[in-house]
């Protein structure tokens, strides 16, 4: 079996032998997440009503983030610690070499892209996002099942390669080569509206590439060659390893990371605290409007 490392389509997923794949449902509603680490939000309720057969559930808040660390200035969705994420993979019964496929709803595969990136951070490359998400599976007439899925736990011990994949507050300000790419919608980037964070605007010098521009009207990603041309046009003379992605809390930025990798533009990194982490320090500068040029 040829392992998928960015995207996988419905037919390719349906053809996989169940024992050879770990499927993870990442559906999550940012406006109805549940109020605590293990409270059930809309995404988990939707999962229990119907999901791809064999899929386990991943909560953005409880499994793919550590909300207890928000007070450290790490943004609204701080990254989980290595041990905690290892325990999540253990609970899912992951074993090395297994193809992982993650998916969510039609809102752009945002939480699924976050899981994809976290797994790469942990050195796991055999992970792909289902192109078009759960709606693509359902619209293709594929089987679904209800209830919870429990897999036999296995011992897992992961380590994050932070230096290769993550940029923190200090290195963001001290790297003259980097170019920031902000995945938020244009009005939020420009500071015209800000529905979540206390301050609107963007990091001075950051460019804007809304993650929605990676998608076709049906919710699937644009072809790799199209994405490559669009990102190269947006980045100008900057090479992929110079790019640092950000968004509101480090989730939608992973969508741009995934799109670039799918387009063959490898080596970009994530400013994980993103805008919510940047504005946690009132002394950091804020820009509004469009960047010149």
Sign of the alpha-carbon dihedral angle for 143, 130, 55, 11: positive
Q: Is 253 in contact with 245 (CB distance < 8 Å)?
A: yes
- Per the annotation, the verdict on 254 as an active-site residue is no
Contacts of 108 (CB under 8 A, 6+ apart): 211, 212, 214, 215, 219, 252, 255
Alpha-carbon span 170 to 175, nearest angstrom: 9
- Side by side, the strands of the sheet bearing 7-8 are 7-8, 127-130, 99-103, 21-25, 56-57
Q: Does residue 156 contact residue 90 with C-beta atoms inside 8 Å?
A: yes
Task: Report the distance separating Cα 231 and Cα 122, nearest Å.
Answer: 26
Q: Which residues pair with 271 in a beta bridge?
A: 167
Residues with active-site annotation: 247
């Amino acid at each position: 079996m040829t392992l998928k490392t960015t995207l996988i389509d419905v037919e390719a997923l349906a053809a996989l032998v169940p024992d050879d794949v770990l499927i993870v449902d990442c559906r999550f509603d940012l406006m109805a997440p549940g109020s605590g680490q293990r409270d059930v939000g809309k995404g988990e309720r939707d999962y229990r009503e119907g999901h791809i057969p064999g899929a386990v559930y991943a909560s953005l808040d409880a499994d793919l983030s550590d909300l207890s660390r928000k007070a450290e200035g790490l943004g609204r969705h701080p990254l989980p610690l290595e041990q905690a994420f290892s325990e999540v993979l253990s609970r899912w019964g992951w074993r090395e070499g297994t193809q992982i496929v993650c998916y969510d709803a039609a809102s752009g595969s945002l939480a699924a892209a976050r899981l994809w990136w976290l797994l790469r951070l942990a050195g796991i490359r055999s992970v792909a996002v289902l192109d078009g998400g759960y709606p693509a599976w359902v619209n293709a007439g594929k089987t679904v099942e209800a209830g919870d899925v429990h897999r036999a736990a296995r011992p897992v011990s992961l380590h994050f390669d932070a230096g290769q994949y993550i940029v923190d507050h200090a290195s963001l300000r001290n790297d003259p080569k980097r170019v920031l790419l902000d995945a938020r919608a244009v009005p939020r980037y420009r500071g015209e509206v800000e529905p979540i964070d206390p301050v609107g605007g963007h990091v001075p010098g950051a460019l804007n590439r809304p993650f929605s521009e990676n998608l076709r009207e049906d919710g699937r990603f644009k072809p790799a060659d199209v994405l490559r041309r669009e990102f190269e046009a947006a980045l100008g003379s900057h090479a992929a390893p110079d790019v640092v992605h950000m968004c509101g809390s480090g989730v939608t930025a992973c969508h741009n990371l995934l799109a670039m990798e799918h387009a063959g533009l490898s080596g970009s990194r994530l400013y994980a605290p993103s805008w919510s982490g940047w504005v946690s320090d009132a002394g950091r500068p804020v820009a509004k409007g469009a960047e010149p040029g």
